[in-house]
A and B are shown apart, each in its own frame.
Chain A
Amino acid sequence: MSTRLANQGRLIDRSKPIEFTFNGNRMTGYEGDTLASALLANDQMMVGRSFKYHRPRGLVASGAEEPNALVGLGNGDRFEPNQRVTTTELFAGLSAQSQNHWPSLEFDVGAINTHLSRFLPAGFYYKMFMYPKAFWKHVYEPIIRHSAGLGKAPDKELKDADQYEHFYFFADVVVVGGGVAGLQAAKAAAATGAKVLLMEQTNTWGGRAPVDGGTIDGDTPEAWVEKTLAELEAMDNVTLRSRCMGSGVYDHGYVLGYERLTDHTPGAAGPRHRLWRIRAKQIVTATGAIERPLSFAGNDVPGVMLAGAMRDYVANWGVTPGKRVVIATNNDDAYRTAITLHNAGVEVVRVLDARASGGGALMEEVRQLGIRVDPGRAIAKVTGGKRVAKVAVCAQNGEGGAQEDVVADAVAMSGGWSPVVHLWSHCGGKLIWDDAQAHFRPDASRPPLGDDGAGFVVAAGSANGTLDLENTLTDATAAGAAAAKAAGFAKKAVKAPVGSVQAEQPMAPVWLMPAKADIKLRMKTWLDYQNDVKVSDVQLAAREGYESVEHTKRYTTLGMATDQGKLSNINGLAVLADTLGSEIPQVGTTTFRPPYTPISMGAIGGEARGEIFQPIRKTPMHDWHDANGADWEPVGQWRRAYAFVRSSESVEDAVAREVKNTRENLGLLDASTLGKLVVKGPDAGKFLDMMYTNMMSNLKVGKCRYGLMCSENGFLIDDGVVARIDDDTWLCHTTTGGAERIHGHMEEWLQTEWWDWKVYVANVTEQLAQVAVVGPNARKVLEKLNAQAGGGMDVSKEALAFMEWKDGKIGEFDARAYRISFSGELSYEIAVPASQGMAFWQALLEAGKEFGVMPYGTECLHIMRAEKGFIMIGDETDGTVIPQDLGLHWALSKKKEDYLGKRAHLRSHMADPDRWQLVGLETVDGSVIPDGAYAVGEGLNANGQRNVVGRVTSTYHSPTLNKGIAMGLVHNGQKRMGEVIEFPGTDDKTYKAKIVDQVFYDKEGEKQNV
């Protein structure tokens, strides 16, 4: 059984017990425990079920590389699935649930899959679910969706209770990893005066060194870490962050740091996670190394653990995974585990050293302790179901025969150490194969390159392949100094501390244990614990022709789980190489991508949630609208009132009321969102003649003109009214969504093509609140305001005619009034300073009472313009429509030599008479054609579908005419007036509509021109 030891445990405080629950069972740990060590202390070795076969799984590792021990953590709005227990600090009240089993962890129906494993080989899904085709959607997918996935998704009705944030930071040198290498690299870099940020993912500094032993400058590693940390803390140019993982390295020295602020004190005020968005001149990756499992049958039985991890559990947290331990290794390091266990009073039954000649000084030390060491021996298989019970021992250099059974309750394994090269590789750093240590390590001659062609990442310590303390400290000192130099700091000699450890014999690569294990054993030999990939699966993939490691990965799912193959990667590709008969470096690794371990969605989203999820632009009258029944619709980032709904009426009723009232009395529209661009300069006229398809240079001061804008490809991109303000100043109105885009469009042409033209553009959209005063009583209300407050602006037909503008006082307001109409009614659009917009709106409402004033929304605006046959950018246009399609030939100047889009309009497809043309559509029975409906013609196309001859672009019920009206683009439309065409709806009805002129209301324009 796994249990707490009487002594040991440098990180725990036994005077501070902590209560927590696992699957509802109350358990106790100590302050300083991880959830992993606390579970072991409570004899909870089995922590979950595997993904595919639902095999019992226990803790394998002690850190970020742990593949098995994922739990659902917390409850309700703080529930989170797939949390690694090894990186979860224990806190009072912690509540964890194991995953991927039904009905319980102890008894799981899905475990039947393990007996069916012969029928679930690599590529099973691809092979099985191809046929019959219809089964995928209705049978296979629902079953797979039910059985796939590890943890449960949080309740979709709940919102994450926590708060998150980003933080932008800039440093000369960022060091990732707070082990002895990271500390020393930071020290060497900081000595030059460089600004250094050192990040450590756990809450403790020093990494493995305090557990692994040896001395640094004659001190214990622990003492050296403490001293160095104090030195760094005292330096102004050094920032230290623990609980902060260097999660990814990106182009141009961009680094993401994932800081977990309150995961160990849930519910504490302030942000839970902080995502550091860092610009670094240079990056040092001191990310350590990860131990590899050995590939023997039953290496996934709970109780089989990495040797280094077992050492961690004893030394750091005073827990042992078992009382009788067998150790299997191919290197000297695992002997340290034997010593640690022995010193803690745990029986080490045997050390199986796969090397025929065994190890060096450490092996001798172990033998001195009276522990049996068997060189050349191996584990044939581990049996025991939910817990190691028996270890079958055999010769390494055989097929697994002649087994001797050893009773044990835990197994420590070590297949050698692989540098954590992830961050080095994220941005293109290359690796070389180190034959002696059988691992990939960073190739210093091929680092990730910055914009200057020089490297911006330096690997340090065991992350660079220096697995012993002495070389690690030398390497880290050099790495820190090199990074600071590359960041532009003058060299400052820092003496490398002298690390000393026992000399080790070379390791021997062992990719399969025993070396010639038969198929029965290989089918129980796990490579990827989390995705249930076995040696036999990779071998099958190779036999089926998957030679590329990237293809094999996807076919077998090796390394595709949330742990991204931290333990399985090298072992898997070694098996692949062996099966293919090629060398490991030739097979290569799969791509390392950020993040190093999964980071929370909350951290990525940062502050963007709730009311600041995204900016909502508000006009000066927004709050009034909100308080007066506005049914909001988004228009770009603005919110505009779709309609002002009164109690006891529907939105549709409100729209109809607004249309009717505006046509008969007086309507007010908040038009503040329309874009307003001031264009000024000696060349402004020439410039606007290029921007618009029609002529703007000859517009008279005081006059307005409607204009169209095309892109250089000829497509209609915007429209609006242009007013000539003075000799060299024009004011261009754009659509609401077009203000920033058209401003950018103008600037782009001015800055890149016509940089020598004397034109300036300024966007004054938000300076002005603009109100459309519309309806037969529009003039009356303005005249009343003038009469009340002595406004001087003459708004009579004679003084301010249709398509003219004027500055002056309306009531007490400084205003600019435009006689323009998008509704067909008598209409003024009046701009006042934004800070007085609300007051102006209120003054109009007050004065308009006797004239039947009502505010109206965008839907009313749309209907009124459609009744008049006016086009709307975004309805009648969709990026593929040209002015000619809309019958707007009149707005295409023939006098101008050039304008944007002119040349494009000459292309054969643009000039094609077969292009669909805008027409009006009137349903024969008065119904409304569904939005987006297509008109069908004779015959079928190549796919057996009805031929399409047109489509609806705008469709409404017209309250004015009391029938369905629409506009649409129809093949040969202008020549087919009076013809009835059919629009099949998605409601199984077919809508018949007559092609008519698009102007449904007041064709002569008498109403607006009064």
Chain B
Amino acid sequence: MSDPVSALQGAQFSGIASVEEGGLAGMITLRGDLGSKVMQAAVKEATGADIPATNQVSLSADGGTAWMSPDELLLMVSYTEVEEILAALNKSLAGEHALAVNVSDARAVFRVSGDGARETLAKICPVDLSAEAFVPGQFRRTRMAQVAAAFWLDESGAFTIVCFRSVADYVFNLLSNAAHPQSAVGVY
């Protein structure tokens, strides 16, 4: 196998928030009946995490799950093990009506952290990012300026953003622009 490369190979920017491309991450789109016991067990085995509640992420030591829709999850796993995990997942789900596909390379991942992280995102996403409204563990699929994106907030106050690989450049520039050092709004 040739060395895989992420879209922006770790690009970084620092302003009212720090923006960094997160590199390659293992991701599986899983569609199916989220209430099924077989599904719950398979997801746990694949990620170490439970099926998350609506609009939540469920994180484990080496992965996690994110709620995408009533019948879709995003599974986060090790990039190097994604094909094995996918194969095991498909095996566990044999007989279930489900679809699991590797989307690791279809995505770019960014981390936005620092005091201005909430404001940075609130400039480009129509989401209530106040501390009362957006709490750690929350996951949101939304619009980021002109493209689709999803993000969650972790306990350290950092956001992890997932978008399509083809627009990685746009999203990085967008985030850097929104994090302009002299552009703090001063509300969050």
B3 is an interface residue with CB less than 8 A from chain A: yes
Q: B178, A165: Cβ atoms under 8 Å?
A: yes
Inter-chain CB contacts under 8 Å: number: 141
Chain A binding surface, main DSSP class: mixed
A238 to B57, CA, bound (A): 31
Bound form: Cα–Cα A180–B106 in Å: 55
With A274-B185, A607-B174 known as contacts, the answer to whether A163 contacts B180 (CB < 8 A) is: yes
CB of B107 to closest CB in A, whole Å? 8
For B129, give the chain A residue with the smallest CB separation: A168
Q: Is B88 an interface residue (CB 8 A)?
A: no
- B123 and A168 form a contact (CB under 8 A): yes
Q: B128: nearest residue on chain A (CB-CB)? A: A170
Residues of A within 8 A of B104 (CB): 767, 833, 835
Mask for A262-293, Cβ within 8 A of B = 1, else 0? 00000011110010010100000000000000
Q: Would you call A433 an interface residue if the criterion is a C-beta within 8 Å of the partner chain's C-beta atoms? A: no
Contact among A165, A168, A766, A843 for B125, CB-based, below 8 A: A168
**Is B183 a contact partner of A767 (Cβ separation < 8 A)?**
no
Q: Within the assembled complex, what's the spacing in Å between the Cα atoms of A616 and B173?
A: 12
Q: Which 5 A-B pairs rank lowest in CB-CB distance, beginning with the nearest? A: A270-B182, A835-B4, A760-B99, A617-B166, A766-B106
B134 to chain A, nearest CB (A): 10
In the complex, A814 has a CB within 8 A of chain B: yes
CB distance from A715 to the nearest CB of B (A): 28
Within 8 A of B (CB), among A967-1009: none
Please determine whether A680 and B173 come into contact, CB atoms closer than 8 angstroms: no
Contacts A169-B122, A615-B146, A767-B103 given; indicate if A835 touches B173 (C-beta within 8 A).
no
Q: Interface digits, B10-36 against A, CB 8 Å rule (1 contact, 0 not)?
A: 000000000000001000010110000
Which residues of chain A in 802-858 are interfacial with respect to chain B, using CB atoms and an 8 Å cutoff? 812-814, 833-836, 838-840, 843
B54 at interface by CB-CB < 8 Å: no
Given the complex, which residues of B lie within 8 Å of A165, measured CB to CB? 123, 177-178, 183
- How many angstroms between the C-alpha atoms of A277 and B129 in the bound complex? 13
Cα–Cα, bound, A638→B101 (Å): 24
A589 to B174, CA, bound (A): 43
Q: Does A798 contact B (CB under 8 A)?
A: no
A262 to B: closest C-beta gap in Å: 9
Query: What chain B residues lie within 8 Å of A608 (beta carbons)?
Result: 145-146
A838 near B5: Cβ-Cβ < 8 Å: yes
Expressed in whole angstroms, the minimum distance between the Cβ of B85 and any Cβ of chain A is 15
Bound: A607/B101 CA distance, A: 35
Name the residue on A nearest B169 (C-beta).
A618
Known contacts A269-B182, A607-B174; decide if A612 and B145 are in contact (CB<8 Å): yes
Q: A839 to B2, Cβ gap below 8 A? A: yes
Residue contacts A-B, CB under 8 angstroms, 21 given: A163-B177, A168-B123, A277-B126, A608-B146, A612-B170, A612-B174, A616-B170, A617-B166, A618-B168, A619-B166, A638-B166, A760-B71, A761-B99, A766-B166, A767-B101, A767-B103, A767-B105, A812-B2, A835-B4, A836-B4, A840-B2
Bound Cα distance A617, B147 (Å): 10
Give the contacts of A148-174 with B (CB-CB under 8 A).
163, 165-170
Contact for B98 among A239, A637, A760, A834, CB less than 8 A: A760
Q: Kindly provide the distance from the CB of A194 to the nearest chain B CB, expressed in whole angstroms.
A: 12
* Interface check A611, CB cutoff 8 A: yes
Given A167-B122, A839-B2; A681-B99 close (CB under 8 Å): yes
Given A165-B178, A268-B182, 4 more A-B residue pairs with CB atoms under 8 Å apart are A165-B123, A607-B178, A616-B167, A616-B169
Which of B106, B124, B180, B181 has the most chain A CB atoms inside 10 A of its CB?
B106
Q: How many residues of B contact A (CB 8 A)?
A: 54
The answer to whether the Cβ of A758 comes within 8 Å of any Cβ in the partner chain is yes
> Are B99 and A607 in contact (CB-based, < 8 A)?
no
CB of A765 within 8 Å of the partner chain? yes
Residues in B132-155 with C-beta less than 8 Å from chain A: 132-133, 145-147
Interface status of B61 (Cβ within 8 A of chain A): no
In the complex, which residues of chain B have a beta carbon less than 8 angstroms from the beta carbon of A761?
A: 99
Q: Which residues of B lie under 8 Å from residue A279 when comparing CB positions? A: 128
Question: Is the CB of B37 closer than 8 A to any CB of chain A?
Answer: no
Decide yes or no whether A887 CB sits under 8 A from chain B: no
User: Contact: B98 with A167, CB < 8 Å?
Assistant: no
- Whole-angstrom distance between the alpha carbons of A331 and B46 in the complex? 79
Give the residues in chain B near A169, CB-CB below 8 Å: 122, 187
A678 within 8 A of B: yes
**In the bound complex, CA of A908 to CA of B104 (Å):** 49
Contacts of B166 in A (CB 8 A): 617-619, 638, 766
- Residue among B101, B105, B126, B147 with max Cβ neighbours from chain A (10 Å): B105
Q: Judging by beta carbons under 8 Å apart, are B2 and A767 in contact? A: no
Cβ–Cβ contact B101 & A768, under 8 A: no
Contacts of A239 in B (CB 8 A): 187
CB within 8 Å for A168 and B122 given contacts A678-B99, A760-B98: yes
B130 located at the interface, meaning its Cβ lies under 8 Å from any Cβ of chain A in the complex: yes
Report yes or no: A681 in contact with B97, Cβ–Cβ below 8 A.
yes
Interchain CB contact (< 8 A) of B97 among A166, A615, A758: A758
B99 touches A766 (CB 8 A): no
Cβ-based interface call for B127 (8 A): yes
Of A611, A834, A836, the residue contacting B173 (CB under 8 A) is: A611
User: Contact at B147–A615, with CB atoms within 8 Å?
Assistant: yes
Cβ–Cβ < 8 Å partners of A879 in chain B: none
- A682 CB-CB contact with B under 8 Å: yes
Query: Roughly how many angstroms separate A755 CA and B119 CA in the complex, as a whole number?
Result: 40
Q: How far is the CA of A616 from the CA of B103 in the complex (A)?
A: 20
Nearest CB on B from A366, distance (A): 46
- Which residues of B (69-118) have their CB < 8 Å from a CB of A? 71, 97-99, 101-107
Contacts of A616 in B (CB 8 A): 167, 169-170
Among residues of A, the one whose C-beta sits closest to the C-beta of B3 is A839
Whole-angstrom distance between the alpha carbons of A813 and B105 in the complex? 14
Inter-subunit contact A835/B97 (CB<8 Å)? no
